[in-house]
Every structure is written in C-alpha cells, then in structure tokens.
Amino acid sequence: MQIVNSPTAIEPALQSACVTIGNFDGVHKGHQQLLGRVRSKADKHGYRAVVVTFDPHPLRLLTQKKTPPFITLTQQKLELFATHKPDACLLLEFTHAMAQQPPEDFVRQILVQGLRVKHLIIGHDYAFGKDRAGNYELLTELGKKYDFTVERVAPVMIENTVVSSTRIRELVMAGDVLAARPLLGRFYTVRGRVEPGFKRGGDLLGFPTANLRLVDELFPATGVYAVWAFLETTALPAVANIGYNPTFGNEVLSVEVHILDFAQDIYGQDLNVCFIKRLRSEKKFTGPDALSDLCQQIASDIATARSLFADPHIQP
C-alpha cells in the first residue's frame, strides 16, 4: 500500500480506480467490509483500489465542542488499512479551505481528475463537506455527470447492533472490551513505549510492571484487565491496571502491565496491549495491611487471568 498526500504521487499513474472514502475511526468490521469490497471490485474490473481519508479527523478541526476520543490514531489506521491490501491510501490534509469546498469541486478535483474514479464505495451513513451535502444522492448525481458509479454498503450487524465507531467507543469506555472485540474484529489495543515508573511494582509488591508512555486517546474504564502484551510479534499473557493507583495517590492515568512469568528488561521497547476482559475495578487499599492486601489481590487477579488464557476463544 502506497501512502500519498496527493493523487499524482501514486505510481504508476492511475488510469482507473475503485475508491472508498471516509474517516474510518476504528477501522471496524463495517469499515473492513468496505475495504474488502474495494479490493474485490478493483480486482474484478482491473481498477486500482484506493482508500481516501483525512488527517486530522475533520471533526477535530471543525467542531468547537470537545470531540470524542478517537479509537485509532492515523498511524494505526494506516497499518490496519494495509492489511486489506489496497494499492494506495490517499491521506489528505484536512483544512478549513477543504471544509468550505463545494462537494462537486472536491469530487471533480480529487476523485475524478486526481484518482480517475470509476467506482466509489461508501458506508451507509457517509456524507462529506459543508452541511454533509456530499451524500449518497449527490454523489450518484455527480457520478452520472463524471462517469463513475456509486455503491452504498449496508451496515454490518453483530448481535442485532449496527457496528459503529460510536458504539465501540461506548463499550470500550465502559470497560466492556469483551463486547467491543467482535465489532472491531480484533482486540481493542493501545500502544506505548515502556518507561521507568515509580519502581514500586517489583520492589514493593513483587509484581514488576511495565509502565507505558501512552499515545492513544481512548482508554478502557479504569480497572484491572487480562491482556495480551505484544512485544514485536510475540503475544505474552499479562494483566494490566488502568488507573490512578489510588493506594499510592497518583494524579495521572497510567497503564501498567505485569507480564506473567517474565523477567526481561524491556525499557524503551514498544508494547501493544490487547484488552481481553475486564476483571475488576481499581480499589484503594488502606490501613497497615494495605500493601499485603494489594499483593493478595494482584495474585488473585493473575490466577483469574491464567484461567482465561487457555480459552480457545481469546487466543491472539
């Protein structure tokens, strides 16, 4: 997958393309269906498969309100796109000027003259431009004028719910990572570089933790989780604590990962944390036995997690 900022940078130059366009936050099952469809249509007709998306996310630039935390950052989005093997991703810098552009100008310049679109595939609720004027109906009209067809793909339903970025966000924020997984088609994952923490884990508690320098925006509810910790491509069974470590009165949200039966120094390495299941809420331990109570609790969390890792349904 070539990643380009302008249609003319795609090599060799496009003669015809099957295109999908969207924000694709989460690259969830609904988006995956679009990506698969773009690839198969392109193959069938001898077109090139192109994904068009924006950075920053249009909402981030346009709304005064606080935007929701995004499920995927651009870098992760591109990695996920690549697994669906489009020929190119056109990553357009989203600007105020672009937001003001009449939909027809955008379609003509980018899709028609730029990408030579022959077939455009969009999600069931997709619309772009000022006042969402660039909707399915308008695109179909423009398709007649500029000689491309438009296909709107029905939403993916899982257990009677429409797969949507909003639903996934709600589930993850509620800690229900187990329910978010089928909608995403993968475990909800955050990544971070392992950095030195307070050094309490190993010395004080006997459970050393990798503390992550976080880059993501969306975090599961505070609490304790069974996770797969990926070091490069190796999945290691682990437990993670997301929270404020109330026993120690920390101020900022931390994600700490204790990898089971593991004693390597991994400072400076990147860890991907795949959330399997929430085990409990974070507790504040007080009194003279606070430390040993916390230790016992963590030992019991690990025992619960161990019984999960053998489950064939949660394999990485």
Positions in the binding site for Mg ion (CB under 5 A): 197, 201, 209, 211
- Say if CB 184 and CB 156 are below 8 A apart: no
Smallest distance from Mg ion to CB 298, Å? 12
- Say if CB 310 and CB 232 are below 8 A apart: no
Smallest distance from Mg ion to CB 312, Å? 31
Among 33, 53, 165, 245, binds ligand RBF (CB under 6 A): 245
Smallest distance from ligand RBF to CB 134, Å? 47
Question: How far is it, in rounded angstroms, from Cα 228 to Cα 211?
Answer: 15
Residue 130 is given by DSSP the state G
Beta bridge partners of 224: 241, 280
Beta bridge partners of 19: 50, 120
φ, ψ for residue 273 (rounded to 5)? -110, 115
Question: How far is it, in rounded angstroms, from Cα 112 to Cα 145?
Answer: 11
Q: Does 248 bind ligand RBF (CB under 6 A)?
A: yes
Of 27 and 298, which has the nearer Cβ to Mg ion? 298
Of 7 and 208, which has the nearer Cβ to ligand RBF? 208
Among 10, 120, 239, 255, binds ligand RBF (CB under 6 A): 239
Report helix, strand or coil for 48. strand
Region from 79-87, 141-149, 186-194, 279-287 binding ligand RBF, contact rule CB under 6 A = 279-287
Closest by alpha carbon to 74, among 50, 49, 93? 93
Question: How far is it, in rounded angstroms, from Cα 99 to Cα 130?
Answer: 6
Among 29, 258, 277, 278, binds ligand RBF (CB under 6 A): 258
Of 159 and 265, which has the nearer Cβ to Mg ion? 265
Q: Does 295 bind ligand RBF (CB under 6 A)?
A: no
Question: How far is it, in rounded angstroms, from Cα 222 to Cα 255?
Answer: 9
List the x/- string, 185-214, binding to ligand RBF by CB under 6 A.
------------xx-xx-----x-x-----
Of 116 and 191, which has the nearer Cβ to Mg ion? 191
When CB distances are held under 5 to 8 angstroms depending on the partner's kind, the choice from Mg ion, ligand RBF, none that residue 258 binds is ligand RBF
Region from 82-90, 108-116, 154-162, 241-249 binding ligand RBF, contact rule CB under 6 A = 241-249
Question: How far is it, in rounded angstroms, from Cα 288 to Cα 51?
Answer: 59
Residue 310: which residues within 8 A CB-CB, separation 6 or more?
none
φ, ψ for residue 275 (rounded to 5)? -85, 120
Smallest distance from ligand RBF to CB 237, Å? 12
Smallest distance from ligand RBF to CB 257, Å? 7
Of 136 and 244, which has the nearer Cβ to ligand RBF? 244
Of 99 and 260, which has the nearer Cβ to ligand RBF? 260
Among 256, 271, 275, 278, binds ligand RBF (CB under 6 A): 256
- Per DSSP bridges, beta strands 88-93 and 48-55 are parallel
When CB distances are held under 5 to 8 angstroms depending on the partner's kind, the choice from Mg ion, ligand RBF, none that residue 246 binds is ligand RBF
- Say if CB 69 and CB 26 are below 8 A apart: no
Classify burial at 159, counting beta carbons within 10 Å of its beta carbon; exposed 0-12, middle 13-18, buried 19 or more. exposed
Binding residues for ligand RBF, rule: CB under 6 A, are: 197-198, 200-201, 207, 209, 224, 239, 241, 245-248, 256, 258, 282-284, 294, 298, 301
